[in-house]
Amino acid sequence: MTDWPSIVDENRQRVWRTAYRLLGNDADAADCLQETFISALRLTRREVIRNWPALLQRLATTRALDRLRQRMRLYGCCETIGEWSAVSSSRPGPDHTAQASELCQRLRQALAQLPAKQAQAFCLRFLDDLSYREIAQHMQIKPEAVGVLLHRARSQLQQLLASELAGNRL
């Protein structure tokens, strides 16, 4: 029997952070949190879960990317994300804040255009700071495949964000 209260208590913050980093607002992150745990519950009916944190982080990333893609289909490139500045801990000037907010919005839009596995690998590496080995375990692929996915994701993101990067590399 699965001890759901313990699993939720132990992993709620990780799932929330993963969703919020990608989505940038409380309402979508809360929806993603619920969807993640519902998906995990459904998965337990089919198989035994050995690594709850890895599974939940993977599901949260997938659900958040799905929600980003849905946002792109509904709103196109015109949507603004007002709560993203709340993530920053320093107090940069208004011009820096506006520029960073715009870049974050464009990064989200670009991530939504990547193939699912590339976007997931990119998020796990650069947002969650996981190693290639940990990403390989999460995604159930070889570490070498992680390198290929990350290379392709970075290349595509550089093309999509060429004007914003201005010489900086991801």
Q: Quick one: 133 exposed, middle or buried, by C-beta within 10 A (0-12, 13-18, 19+)? A: exposed
Residues 147, 15: Cα–Cα separation, whole Å: 24
Banded model confidence at residue 96, pLDDT cuts 50, 70, 90: low
Pairwise CA distance, residues 59 & 23, whole Å: 14
| Residue 79: pLDDT band with limits 50, 70, 90 | very low
Domains of the chain, first to last: 4-165 (1.20.140)
E strands along 9-145, which residues? none
Contact 137, 50 (CB under 8 A): no
pLDDT tens per residue across span 103-128: 778 888 888 888 989 998 998 888 88
In DSSP notation, 30-62 reads: HHHHHHHHHHHHHHHTTS--S-HHHHHHHHHHH
CA atoms within 13 A on the CB side of 26: 3
- 167 vs 58: which has the higher pLDDT: 58
Give CA–CA dist 128/111, Å, rounded. Answer: 15
Quote the Cα angle for 16-18-21, to 5°.
100
Over range 164-170, report the average pLDDT: 50
